[in-house]
Amino acid sequence: MNKIIMSMSVIASGLLGYTAKQDGTRVEEALTNVQYVKSWVLEDLNSGAMDTIYAEYYLNILNETEDLLIK
């Protein structure tokens, strides 16, 4: 019985991994969007259109989002 449960969990984890890989394009698109927004924030910061405090806040949130998407 334990072998069956272990086998099923291995198969299930393999299928879940496969499903996640099939949907990877959405993660790639999300990462691309995050990187675009980060570049816009940096441009606004460098041009003086955005205050440093706001830019740091946005960049921290975007970096955290990027890290979550990569994991």
Per DSSP, the chain holds a count of helices (H) and strands (E) of: 3, 0
* Three-point CA angle 4, 17, 1, nearest 5°: 5
**pLDDT-derived band at 18, boundaries 50, 70, 90:** very low
Question: Is the model's pLDDT at 38 over the cut of 80?
Answer: yes
Span 8-31, average pLDDT: 58
Span 40-64, average pLDDT: 95
Q: The whole model's pTM is what? A: 0.65
**pLDDT-derived band at 33, boundaries 50, 70, 90:** very high
Span 25-50, average pLDDT: 92
